[in-house]
Amino acid sequence: MDFARPLPAFLVQRYHGWKATTYAENRAWYRRLADEGQRPRAMVISCCDSRVHVTSIFGADQGEFFIHRNIANLVPPYEPDGNQHGTSAAVEYAVTALKVAHLVVLGHSQCGGVQGCLDMCEGRAPALEESSSFVGRWMDILRPGYEAVKEAEDKPRALEKEAVKVSLNNLMTFPFVREAVEGGRLSLHGLWTDIGEGGLSCYDPASDGFVPI
Amino acid sequence: MDFARPLPAFLVQRYHGWKATTYAENRAWYRRLADEGQRPRAMVISCCDSRVHVTSIFGADQGEFFIHRNIANLVPPYEPDGNQHGTSAAVEYAVTALKVAHLVVLGHSQCGGVQGCLDMCEGRAPALEESSSFVGRWMDILRPGYEAVKEAEDKPRALEKEAVKVSLNNLMTFPFVREAVEGGRLSLHGLWTDIGEGGLSCYDPASDGFVPI
Amino acid sequence: MDFARPLPAFLVQRYHGWKATTYAENRAWYRRLADEGQRPRAMVISCCDSRVHVTSIFGADQGEFFIHRNIANLVPPYEPDGNQHGTSAAVEYAVTALKVAHLVVLGHSQCGGVQGCLDMCEGRAPALEESSSFVGRWMDILRPGYEAVKEAEDKPRALEKEAVKVSLNNLMTFPFVREAVEGGRLSLHGLWTDIGEGGLSCYDPASDGFVPI
Amino acid sequence: MDFARPLPAFLVQRYHGWKATTYAENRAWYRRLADEGQRPRAMVISCCDSRVHVTSIFGADQGEFFIHRNIANLVPPYEPDGNQHGTSAAVEYAVTALKVAHLVVLGHSQCGGVQGCLDMCEGRAPALEESSSFVGRWMDILRPGYEAVKEAEDKPRALEKEAVKVSLNNLMTFPFVREAVEGGRLSLHGLWTDIGEGGLSCYDPASDGFVPI
């Protein structure tokens, strides 16, 4: 493991700044969180994209949100085949062990993963179609969503929102999610944020669309 | 999809607060990020745990870090088998498309996933051993690490750190990661944070241990 | 006073959000409230419990409710002995200076203070019986209520409701309260809310019980 | 108890609105709070004044803050004399039973209780001086603070801020508060809010004054 490197100086410096301020001011709370365990109110599934800041948008305090981030905020369908499913593991832990009350899927504008899926669906991305492409195979989860948006005026935006809907629908294929939702112990929410405008819309079942908050 | 619910009011209120302050003050930057795309300097792989705040510890600005969060900050070995590998997709996108300069694996204390793996390895978690357990199958990635810690005084802490090492080693099995590291275009870093103490240690190849920053 | 600390950052952020939205939108009203003084319609006496949100349940606007919160929403009997009585001071100010038209005592389920009183009454809480226990001495106010519930099926729930009745009866021992009630200038109301179910019941003199609203 | 009255219709209506919306959307969370108990991060001591909205200013979620409200947000000194001390009971419960990490004293402008104390100190309020005046005796807690402000330009504002300092100092006379502060398990914070301007200032030990946040 001689390839591992020390942390870059700018991160070391920022960490020390955090330790001397935010940590010092909240030490008692962090100790309690360490001693008594987390009890997050909600799970958020968002994209890895560096421009999406869940904690900032929602004024999050340490301990409030259990956050899973993957490419394009996707949830695959329930597949208990004994293989490794990182997203399904995160959902299982949040719902069955932590018993979160809310599960939020947060999509966003200018999503590179969604654009890649669109390019695959329209034959413009042979590299992503290769079986060795991890991004391509991951974005296959969204392929069934293409049908619903192929006539849309702004296909990338439409497919980003479709990704939220696909994930919400896939979540309901997990027996423990469905049971918690039907038993009134868990609420599902679909959001989409516009990075440039700072906008936030919520999926509304009545209109089957996203309405600004 | 009539199961989807509106966003809870306290999150709506906090979002509007963010929009009127943080967004309003940084609008020009968010618009550039939307128009020109992200250009993150580093990828961080951390746990979903609500007590781990990557953006807080590193004083992150919007656009700086491409963040993947999964249970126990694990990276599986390279397996280009055409199946869905969310973590591998995130790594592939960060290294080959975004060309990040740093890749940080951030482990932490009191990790529920690591504790589950330890319980499995020591025969105390039959439910996690079932093939239908997503958390159990996901934590299988860490099982090979148990051998190295079974004599440790504090096994949970030791296995949490081993998880970082296992992930770093697995990262090097990805051809595009190895090439970027060997070509000097990418640095790998292993970190472990103590939630209660606010401590941060970095993996040090010379001593094969974690040293406080 | 070098022990005082700066406000945690997440509260600073949320405050700035409030200032830029709720405050900004209601500035004229807040200025009038500051210039002309408060003129609340009702006083509410509720528990300090973090799960009881008077302002949320009653859709409260700034300036509407004069709110006193103490352990277990108790009012002691009238005792003009020259000692410090915080609750009596709040009642006196609301009734004689602010001349509120309604006084609501709001009890709730899962009340830790009431449970402590029950434990004392049944000999299970020696620590609370010590003269130095502030919680114990405060909960002595409710002790006379134990007699009425000791045969009840669900003693904690019964004693929580008894606490509301004890407080209402004690309120009538204050001459200025009794005069205002008898003069038709003040109405007293007893409520009990079920936290988990979101239920609200009102004390009904006809049945001497609490009936759902 | 035939003096008790049904709840006024406007409150019944608002309650039903809350039940059908906020409660319905957060049912799972309220049930968990009921089943597992509260775990508030902070205690806030504020005034009963209808114009001070702690939950609004801090975007509070149900379960976050343990709130005690009394006239002029005062904490008396530690007096374990076996008498009833409602404020001391609330502080004891928050610090020893709930183990909150932060304790915030929130003062405010145009405080009627503080004005009353000032009037007493300057001989303008004989009625408050009477031993039967609950408000007068309660405000005696603040009398020692008058000395520090009697030369101030704006005495009411200065005494409101002094009330926060007096309370913070009195808090430190409670052995369990002092021990928690010195052991790094509890932080004390002093705030003062300007109702008309929506301003918020924090007590700063370095300058022994209040600085805007």
Helix axes A112-121, A155-171, angle to 10 degrees: 100
* Chains touching D (3+ CB pairs < 8 Å): A, B, C
CATH 3.40.1050.10 residue window(s) in chain A: 38-212
Q: Please report where in the chains the tokens 């696909």 appear, as a residue.
A: A166
Q: How far is D108 from chain A (nearest CA, A)?
A: 23
C-alpha torsion sign, points C42, C43, C46, C50: positive
pLDDT-derived band at D61 (thresholds 50, 70, 90) equals confident
Position A142 scores a pLDDT of 98
Residue D99 neighbours by CB under 8 Å, 6+ apart: A32, D180, D185
What's the one-letter identity of residue A35? Answer: D
CA B13 – CA D91 distance, rounded (Å)? 29
Rg (CA), chain D: 19
The reply to whether B68 sits in an annotated binding site is no
pLDDT digits (tens, 9 = 90+) for A66-75: 999 999 999 9
CA A29 – CA A36 distance, rounded (Å)? 10
Position A1 scores a pLDDT of 83
C window 141-180, beta carbon within 8 A of D:
141, 165, 168-169, 172
Position C199 scores a pLDDT of 96
| Residue in A166, A145, A204, A208 with CA at minimum distance from that of residue A74 | A166
The answer to whether residues A98 and A36 touch, using CB atoms and an 8 Å cutoff, is no
Position A163 scores a pLDDT of 98
Position B107 scores a pLDDT of 98
Position A93 scores a pLDDT of 98
Give, rounded to a whole angstrom, the gap between the first and last alpha carbons of chain C. 49
Position A60 scores a pLDDT of 83
Q: Token pair for residue C18?
A: 């409030």
pLDDT digits (tens, 9 = 90+) for A152-189: 999 999 999 999 999 999 999 999 999 999 998 999 99
Q: How far is B14 from chain D (nearest CA, A)?
A: 6
pLDDT-derived band at A101 (thresholds 50, 70, 90) equals very high
Query: Is the Cβ pair C213, D15 closer than 8 Å?
Result: yes
Position A134 scores a pLDDT of 98
CA atoms within 13 A on the CB side of A58: 29
pLDDT-derived band at B184 (thresholds 50, 70, 90) equals very high
CA C48 – CA A40 distance, rounded (Å)? 22
pLDDT digits (tens, 9 = 90+) for D123-170: 999 999 999 999 999 999 999 999 999 999 999 999 999 999 999 999
Please report, to the nearest 10 degrees, the dihedral formed by the alpha carbons of residues A32, A36, A41, A43 taken in order. Answer: 110
Q: State ipTM.
A: 0.97
pLDDT digits (tens, 9 = 90+) for D66-123: 999 999 999 999 999 999 999 999 999 999 999 999 999 999 999 999 999 999 999 9
3-class DSSP state of B151:
coil
Q: What residue ranges of chain C have pLDDT lower than 70?
A: none
CA A14 – CA D97 distance, rounded (Å)? 36
Position C10 scores a pLDDT of 87
CB contact, 8 Å: A25 with chain D? yes
User: What's the Cα-to-Cα distance from B65 to each of A116, B48, B102, C27, D153, rounded to whole Å?
Assistant: 21, 16, 10, 38, 51
* Chains touching A (3+ CB pairs < 8 Å): B, C, D
Mean pLDDT, rounded, for B193-199: 96
CB contact, 8 Å: C16 with chain A? no
Query: Is the Cβ pair C1, D141 closer than 8 Å?
Result: no
Position C102 scores a pLDDT of 97
The answer to whether residues C52 and C108 touch, using CB atoms and an 8 Å cutoff, is yes
The answer to whether residues D168 and D32 touch, using CB atoms and an 8 Å cutoff, is no
**Phi and psi (nearest 5°) for A181?**
-65, -45
Burial bucket for residue D17 (CB in 10 Å: 0-12, 13-18, 19+) = middle
Give percent of chain B above pLDDT 70: 100
CATH class of the domain at D38-212: alpha beta
CB contact, 8 Å: D59 with chain B? yes
CA D157 – CA A122 distance, rounded (Å)? 68
